[in-house]
């Protein structure tokens, strides 16, 4: 029987807000994300914002602890992401499990670690041929790695409104010929709600939040948890609850002042 902790999430918009597309979709211009006719904040959007907040927190507070350094969970990196790796803010390879070991000059090395270094064009460092799982992928999951957190979709009963904008023709110093552009937006003061589930203990698989997992493949595993003071309570408070509440911008049209939010988190079953 699994032990689950539930956190009630309430997101309140502090400015016009939208998560959607600028392209034509199903005959609708500038559509906003809906499920069953109801506007939602997708779990992928909230999870991405949470991941970014956890990464920033780890970089700011644990830069001198290599096992706490986050990874960039992608097989290919942009030029800007490569620069973040070179500046030593992120790991040189993304977290993944399992990995196959290959011999190279008398030592064994995880093949994905080696391929990652070759692709990024970064000089190899001594890694004992193995890699560990970063705290972010431990919590949210990664390539072949199940996480401990199930991020929900957030729902609202608020209806969308129309927002219009125009583009200025810089040469003529007047409104461009295509005229006004319209977007569907959520007004300020709308409230979205959902329930996040955190796996505390899995009686079948033997998983327990805050404890290193028994990973059978050649890997350093959850090294950041070995001989550490990261209890379940500390992980949930610092890396989940407080990081959710630190999210203050979400969605699109941010350059126009949209997307400001406030998130409140309460324990459903303390």
Give the separation between CA 95 and CA 202, rounded to whole angstroms.
22
Encode 244-265: b = buried (16+ Cβ within 10 Å), e = exposed: beebeebbbbeeeebbbbebeb
In a 3-state reduction of DSSP, which class is residue 186? strand
Identify the pLDDT of residue 172: 64
Identify the pLDDT of residue 87: 87
Tokens of 200: 């505390």
Q: What is the percent of the chain where pLDDT is above 70?
A: 74
Q: Predicted confidence band at 130 (pLDDT cuts at 50, 70, 90)?
A: low
**φ, ψ for residue 181, nearest 5 deg:** -115, 140
Q: Predicted confidence band at 24 (pLDDT cuts at 50, 70, 90)?
A: very low
Q: CA 242, 88, 126: angle at the middle one, nearest 5?
A: 120
pTM across the whole model: 0.81
Q: What is the pLDDT of residues 54-75, one digit of tens each?
A: 999 999 999 888 899 998 887 7
Identify the pLDDT of residue 105: 58
Give the separation between CA 229 and CA 227, rounded to whole angstroms.
7
Contact 232, 138 (CB under 8 A): no
Q: What is the pLDDT of residues 220-244, one digit of tens each?
A: 789 999 888 999 999 999 999 999 9
Identify the pLDDT of residue 53: 97
- Mean pLDDT of all residues in the chain? 80
Encode 161-197: b = buried (16+ Cβ within 10 Å), e = exposed: eebeeeeeeeeeeeeeeeeeeebbbbeeebebbbebb
Q: Where are the alpha helices (DSSP H) in 121-230?
A: 135-140
Tell the residue number behind the tokens 């805050």, with chain if given. 210
Q: Predicted confidence band at 1 (pLDDT cuts at 50, 70, 90)?
A: confident
How many other CB atoms are found less than 10 A from the CB of residue 30?
19
Tokens of 43: 């779990």
Question: Above 50 in pLDDT, residue 182?
Answer: yes
Q: What is the pLDDT of residues 196-224, one digit of tens each?
A: 999 999 877 778 999 998 877 667 789 99
Give the separation between CA 94 and CA 145, rounded to whole angstroms.
11
Identify the pLDDT of residue 173: 61
Tokens of 132: 């560990």
- Which residues make Cβ contacts (< 8 Å) with residue 33, sequence separation at least 6? 19, 20, 39, 40, 41, 42
Question: Above 80 in pLDDT, residue 146?
Answer: yes
């Amino acid at each position: 029987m699994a032990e689950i902790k539930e956190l009630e999430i309430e997101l309140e918009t502090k400015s016009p807000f939208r998560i959607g597309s600028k392209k034509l979709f199903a005959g609708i211009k500038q559509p906003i994300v809906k499920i069953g006719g109801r506007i939602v904040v997708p779990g992928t959007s909230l999870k991405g914002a949470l991941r970014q907040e956890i990464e920033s927190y780890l970089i700011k507070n644990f830069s001198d602890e290599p096992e706490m350094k986050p990874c960039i969970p992608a097989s290919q990196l942009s030029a800007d992401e490569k620069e973040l790796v070179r500046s030593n803010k992120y790991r040189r390879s993304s977290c993944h499990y399992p990995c196959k070991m290959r011999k190279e000059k008398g030592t064994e090395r995880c093949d994905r670690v080696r391929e990652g270094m070759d692709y990024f064009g970064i000089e190899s460092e001594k890694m004992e041929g193995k890699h560990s799982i970063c705290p972010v992928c431990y919590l949210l999951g990664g390539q072949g790695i199940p996480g401990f957190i199930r991020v929900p979709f957030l729902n609202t009963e608020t209806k969308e409104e129309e927002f219009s904008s125009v583009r200025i023709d810089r040469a003529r110093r007047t409104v461009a010929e295509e005229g006004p552009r319209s977007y569907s937006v959520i007004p300020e003061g709308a409230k979205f709600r959902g329930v996040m589930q955190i796996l505390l203990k899995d009686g079948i698989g033997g998983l327990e939040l805050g404890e290193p997992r028994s990973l059978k493949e050649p890997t350093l595993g959850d090294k950041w948890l070995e001989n550490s003071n990261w209890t379940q309570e500390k992980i949930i408070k610092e890396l989940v609850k407080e990081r959710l509440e630190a999210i203050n911008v979400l969605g699109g049209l941010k350059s126009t002042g949209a997307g400001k939010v406030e998130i409140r988190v309460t324990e459903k079953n303390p």
